[in-house]
């Protein structure tokens, strides 16, 4: 039997009758900005990204312990200035492709931070006051989205389910305060972009349920080898997040819980001195609540986190080894901390902003019952374990002229530091451990709660920041 080729009209009819219909609107959106920061600090501070991503002022560094010495001075009280444009950003958004009610999207975004390093001086590294090298492209976000729209619910209501796969903002860090400084409110709130698989289910107009499996990349858990994703790698479990959002016309509330389970050690010595795989595991739970209110030219936002750990999201926290009785199964306890911020913004062409932040370290959730050696306390790499509390006051003024923005802000950041205690190292019998010269070994230790409470003192930094930005 001879089969004749289908006519054009027949092909068109078959296409229309097909249960699968494809549509492409070719929606590719280029976006970004050129941004330059001019920054002055009254003292050396802990900071990243060419000193633009600001954490906190460094503790006092006295050149002599004699408080009566007329030549005594704080070496960290060094005013400094810099300006950089490396945080300029470019990105692509892709949308408009769908099959029936399944919509596809994608995003890729980068800046130019990579390639910089701290500049050396004649005396070595001088705080964080300068950088050298050539700025190189860096990936910020890269993910695809699948969204099922108009799914039937009870009555006439519909649901929408979205799936995000790739590197994006951590669900606990996605809500930002009204600040133009690069750190976006950190370390007074979570800050991290991570590889993830996130599901958002919008149930009607007011409720959104969220769940995510997350990996660590930009910031990692602390541990014996410093900040590293290896602790999660050998723990064989991703970070798990679950949250809920309730939204109205002018208000939005969001809350969630984040669970991290890691192995700080993968191998260690047994009682016979043989290297073996260990059973170590440390699990922490951190929760947060966020709210915002928008009415005409007024916007109010607030966020607070409370719980264990969080150093993998740039929070001033960590954990410690509290029991080494079993060399193949060390016991750990996380630090409990609270980080909160409030921001208020008013205006459109001229905008006034006030940002307030506060961090409190409560020490370990489980006391070690003994002094802890400094090396057994693992803390956020962008902070210091002898922090008791800290706060920030940050007023800002912005002028917006179309796509051009000029901003001026003042930051006062104050940290309450404490001192480590000097104590003799003891063996299992409670006797001092001696070095090869027969002298007692002295360790710098924290209390059994790993909380700095001795010689508490405040250290503050004045930061003045100006920004020039053109958005496209």
Cross-strand pairs, 333: 320
Which phi and psi (to 5°) does residue 421 adopt? -90, 145
On whether residue 14 sits in a domain, the answer given is no
The domain tally of the chain equals 1
Range of the domain at 404: 24-471
Please state the rounded mean pLDDT for residues 380-396. Answer: 96
Q: Please, what is the end-to-end C-alpha distance for the chain in angstroms?
A: 63
Name every residue whose Cβ is closer than 8 Å to that of residue 464 and which is 6 or more positions away in sequence: 39, 40, 408, 409, 410, 411
One DSSP character per residue, 188-243 reads SS---EEEEEEEEEEETTTEEEEEEEE---SS----TTSS-THHHHHHT--EEEEE
Confidence of residue 439 (pLDDT cuts 50, 70, 90): confident
On whether residue 1 sits in a domain, the answer given is no
- Token duo for residue 10: 């027949």
On whether residue 12 sits in a domain, the answer given is no
Give the number of other Cβ atoms within 10 Å of residue 256's Cβ: 20
Name the E strands within 101-171: 102-114, 117-118, 120-121, 124-125, 131-132, 136-152, 158-169
122-162 per-position pLDDT tens digit: 444 444 445 566 778 899 999 999 999 999 888 778 999 99
Confidence of residue 264 (pLDDT cuts 50, 70, 90): very high
Do the Cβ atoms of 127 and 118 come closer than 8 Å?
no
Q: In what order do the strands lie in the sheet with 372-373?
A: 372-373, 442-446, 421-424
CA angle 296–299–305, rounded 5-degree value:
155
344-364 per-position pLDDT tens digit: 999 999 999 999 999 999 999
On whether residue 5 sits in a domain, the answer given is no
What's the pLDDT at 248? 94
Instruction: Tell me which of 358 and 446 has the higher pLDDT.
Output: 358
On whether residue 18 sits in a domain, the answer given is no
d(CA 324, CA 369): 13
What's the pLDDT at 3? 43
- Average pLDDT of the chain is 89
d(CA 408, CA 363): 36
Lowest-confidence pick of 177-181, 279-283, 384-388, 420-424 = 420-424
What's the pLDDT at 306? 98
What's the pLDDT at 367? 84
What's the pLDDT at 24? 55
What's the pLDDT at 11? 46
Lowest-confidence pick of 28-42, 330-344, 421-435 = 421-435
On whether residue 222 sits in a domain, the answer given is yes
On whether residue 441 sits in a domain, the answer given is yes
Instruction: Tell me which of 443 and 12 has the higher pLDDT.
Output: 443
Confidence of residue 4 (pLDDT cuts 50, 70, 90): very low
Q: Is the dihedral of CA 141, 143, 149, 152 positive or negative?
A: negative
On whether residue 19 sits in a domain, the answer given is no
Q: Is the bond preceding residue 343 a cis peptide, omega within 30 degrees?
A: no
412-428 per-position pLDDT tens digit: 999 999 988 877 777 76
Q: Could you give the C-alpha distances from 292 to 178, 250, 302, 303, in angstroms and in order? A: 11, 8, 6, 9
CATH number assigned to the domain comprising residue 78? 2.40.160.10
């Amino acid at each position: 039997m001879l089969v004749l080729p289908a006519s054009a009209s027949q092909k068109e009819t078959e296409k229309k009758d097909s249960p699968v219909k494809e549509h492409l609107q070719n929606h590719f959106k280029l976006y970004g900005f050129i941004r330059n920061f001019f920054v002055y600090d009254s003292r050396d501070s802990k900071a990243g990204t060419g000193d633009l991503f600001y954490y906190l002022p460094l503790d006092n560094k006295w050149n002599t312990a004699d408080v009566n010495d007329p030549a005594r001075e704080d070496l960290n009280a060094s005013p400094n200035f810099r300006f950089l444009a490396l945080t300029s950003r470019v990105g692509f958004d892709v949308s408009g492709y769908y099959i029936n009610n399944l919509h596809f999207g994608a995003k890729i975004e980068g800046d130019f931070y990579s390639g910089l390093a701290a500049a050396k001086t004649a005396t070595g590294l001088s705080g964080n006051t300068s950088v050298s090298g050539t700025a190189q492209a860096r990936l910020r976000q890269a993910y695809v989205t699948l969204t099922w729209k108009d799914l039937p619910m009870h009555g006439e209501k519909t649901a929408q389910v979205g799936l995000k796969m790739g590197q994006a903002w951590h669900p606990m860090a996605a809500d930002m305060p009204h600040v133009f400084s690069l750190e976006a409110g950190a370390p007074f709130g979570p800050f991290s972009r991570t590889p993830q698989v996130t599901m958002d289910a919008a149930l009607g107009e007011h409720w959104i349920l969220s769940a995510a499996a997350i990996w660590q990349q930009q910031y990692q858990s602390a541990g014996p080898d410093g900040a590293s994703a290896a602790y999660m790698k050998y723990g064989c479990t991703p970070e798990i997040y679950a949250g809920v959002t309730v939204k109205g016309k002018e208000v939005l509330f969001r809350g969630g819980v984040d669970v991290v389970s890691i192995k700080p050690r993968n191998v260690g010595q047994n009682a016979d001195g043989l290297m073996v795989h260990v059973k170590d595991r440390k699990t922490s739970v951190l929760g947060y609540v966020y709210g915002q209110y928008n009415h005409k030219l007024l916007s109010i936002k607030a966020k607070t986190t409370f719980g264990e750990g969080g150093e993998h999201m740039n929070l001033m926290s960590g954990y410690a080894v509290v029991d080494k009785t079993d060399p193949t199964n060390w016991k750990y306890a996380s630090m409990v901390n609270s980080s909160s911020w409030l921001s208020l913004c008013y205006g459109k062409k001229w905008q006034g902003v006030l940002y307030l932040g506060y961090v409190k370290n409560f020490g370990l959730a489980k006391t070690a019952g003994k002094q802890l050696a400094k090396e057994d306390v693992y803390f956020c790499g962008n902070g210091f374990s002898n922090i008791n509390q800290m706060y920030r006051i940050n007023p800002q003024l912005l002028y917006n002229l179309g796509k051009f923005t000029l901003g001026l802000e003042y930051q006062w950041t104050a940290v309450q530091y404490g001192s480590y205690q000097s104590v003799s190292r003891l063996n299992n019998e409670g006797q001092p451990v001696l070095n090869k010269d027969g002298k007692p070994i002295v360790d710098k230790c924290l209390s059994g709660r790993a909380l700095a409470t001795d010689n508490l003192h405040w250290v503050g930094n004045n930061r003045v920041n100006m920004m020039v930005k053109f958005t496209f």
